[in-house]
Structure 1
């Protein structure tokens, strides 16, 4: 019996463990942190051996194959030892893909992944398709394959997940954009991060589809290096040579595989970035054969995604917006670009090697104040204090929201769009957003 070791017992790890057990492997799960009770119960119910708070080296290095949580960097000591032994390391998505013949619609990009994935899933469900939501959102793909299989899977893929995928094939691959992100995980080399994103098209065949943003300079340059076998569906904001999805004279239009159009004003998502997300989703669901009237209805009634430009409340004439998912500079740029009023911007957190220069012009134009929120805000001071905009230095969400309350005047917007990861002060991005929402509503 082959032995599978799984490092990390969160949603992906616990799900992979269940599938591995079902497929007859000897399974051992190890997590350096405390394991959530629901995942302990899941593994206990399936009689899976696990440990928490440590890595038992002897048990781990006895593996035939290791499934690694996306959050564990390659620099982790145990990963280095596994590699030194020549043990193959894969992701949960790669493992799950071995045991299903379902259609895979896979979405990656530096920004817009969650919104686009959720929108595609919304359209599939409205059309009555048997679809599962997986990857960075939804439930573990491996667990669904094991216990709740679907005909289609809509999968949000991070660069970390793509790093450990080798034979997995996306029937429809969507690449939204590539901008600097997670460079701390890629030796601060942009090309390493770009290479990870481009893995979305590996193993595609002439029967598959590749949807991508045609205006992205990095994608354009990278495509010259690849022999792409899939049918290409480029989209852009305006009609250009070769693009099959675009906005023209207030009309949202898709040319292939079936001509499709609707009023741009009818789209539920607003802002330039959401035009791209909506085009990608419309093309993907068009390819899947979903009826045009269903796509139109779903594009017009999609409720949006929590923590992404989420309107929280209005206090004293000031609108509070939660964009905690904006964990890189480009995401913050799009959020600021969509602001219609003077804005108090909240930035800060765990810096991932950010270059803040691209957002400085928008900050000058749109912002009436900046509130820094982080354990260490020195880099923010170095980058933004010279803009001459009022700033406040805070180190907790309570301090931060109070500072915003004091700075904002009626008619303004308070925008949490931090540019950074959340791990310096918060459990995760969701925790940061939830704290912001609760404190804003209690003002």
Structure 2
């Protein structure tokens, strides 16, 4: 009797899991409460996989032996509750796929910096000649790549939602870039639960595995004081030095692993800003552990192109620099963006607030921001927080308006920064859509 695999969510991770499940002999069914994109329907059809959209038919779901749910579906959703009540195992794509590959994985999580660190790690390993795949929250689904069986190493960007759905998965090398309050709506507004979710990345690691982490991060430090992991700890820091780990001095980043020393001048890094020094330390530590040549690491750190929608320089118009940081969907990410500004800044901010506390941005806003444009349906919280701090504050309902206003409010030598600190779903489809609309509006000026 074939085992029945039901997949909730017909997006990239769902379809990838369906293909791998089918290949491994499961009876597969995909159910999406929303619409499934046409290209995915075609792929499912080609593989002879049954699917439904805009509904969850209980009779076709509650007879599952195993369920993979997309990370976007909360544990509190009625269907997931029913499955758990029936004792049916609900896992993530990563947990399902890992059992079918012998590849080594590098798992990267954190509230911010994880995409940049993941892309940079992938870049370092690829340039170093490793047969490496990129998956998780980015790019082509991990399960899909495992079905095609292509890579020796995978670099995986893992959200806390993906980590919630793991049982046995363990990365050989784990990175926690940092932890700050985010997505608390999914964790009963309990920061402790969110922190615990992030640390699931290391819960199955053994003495042969490694945990790379930010030693300057308070939440990480507290967790490590109170809890144990078997993994070998490899810290990185801007302020402390380590015999085994990575650290920054005035000029350089230094990485000491197994008595091997790697040194690189900070001013040779392609990416600007203190947080990117940390991202570079984390990624280079992986490259060192996997024995990539030092000259290759240096070269790759200096030619890395960066990530779209993450402090991406768009255009300079009349000597005003426009910067797209649409990926900044929380306060901590906006903090990094403002911190890296060296000119007076017109800041475009707002969207769907995830329980944000804007207080920590106050010193940076006072120091760097000359004007604020609120781009959201409900901007009350932002206006209350910064109304008295900046010279000008104005609301916009569309990206075109926001960018035109920004042009009017800026003068030579300024920067216009889109760094919303909020989710995008009130006015846009996604942070990518928001970033693309910003770039389009700038190009139309």
What TM bracket, shorter-length normalisation?
Answer: over 0.9
1:384 corresponds to which of 381, 386, 391: 386
Post-superposition offset of 1:120: 0.7
CA contact (8 A) 1:239 1:248 kept: no
Post-superposition offset of 1:243: 6.0
Equivalent positions of 1:124-273 (< 5 A) are: 124-240=125-241, 244-257=245-258, 258-273=260-275
Q: Which residue of 2 aligns with 1:323?
A: 325
Within 1, Cα distance between the matches of 2:7 and 2:381?
Answer: 37
1:396 corresponds to which of 378, 398, 402: 398
Q: Deviations over 1:262-310 (max 9, x none)?
A: 1111111110000000000000110011111111110111011100000
User: Scaled by the length of structure 2, what TM-score is found?
Assistant: 0.98
Within 2, Cα distance between the matches of 1:400 and 1:419?
Answer: 16
1:291 corresponds to which of 270, 290, 293: 293
CA contact (8 A) 2:101 2:149 kept: no
Within 2, Cα distance between the matches of 1:231 and 1:32?
Answer: 42
Alignment partner of 1:57 is 2:58: yes
Structure 1: 5+ residue stretches without partners: none
1:438 corresponds to which of 431, 440, 443: 440
CA contact (8 A) 1:235 1:243 kept: no
Match of 1:298, SS?
A: helix
Match of 1:354, SS?
A: coil
Question: Which deviates further from its counterpart, 388-397 or 7-16?
Answer: 388-397
CA contact (8 A) 1:181 1:328 kept: yes
User: Scaled by the length of structure 1, what TM-score is found?
Assistant: 0.98
Match of 2:315, SS?
A: strand
CA contact (8 A) 1:214 1:243 kept: no
Match of 2:226, SS?
A: coil
CA contact (8 A) 1:15 1:140 kept: yes
Q: Which residue of 1 aligns with 2:18?
A: 17
Q: Deviations over 1:354-381 (max 9, x none)?
A: 1110001100110010010112111212
Q: Which residue of 1 aligns with 2:93?
A: 92
2:350 corresponds to which of 343, 348, 351: 348
Structure 2: 5+ residue stretches without partners: none
Within 2, Cα distance between the matches of 1:407 and 1:140?
Answer: 43
Q: 1:264 to 1:25 in 2, by over 3 A?
A: same
Paired residues in the alignment total 443
Q: Deviations over 1:232-275 (max 9, x none)?
A: 11010133356621112412110113211111111111100000
Equivalent positions of 1:294-373 (< 5 A) are: 294-373=296-375
Within 1, Cα distance between the matches of 2:83 and 2:255?
Answer: 47
Within 1, Cα distance between the matches of 2:242 and 2:19?
Answer: 48
Match of 2:346, SS?
A: strand
Post-superposition offset of 1:65: 1.2
Alignment partner of 1:121 is 2:119: no
Match of 2:428, SS?
A: coil
Match of 1:332, SS?
A: helix
Match of 2:432, SS?
A: helix
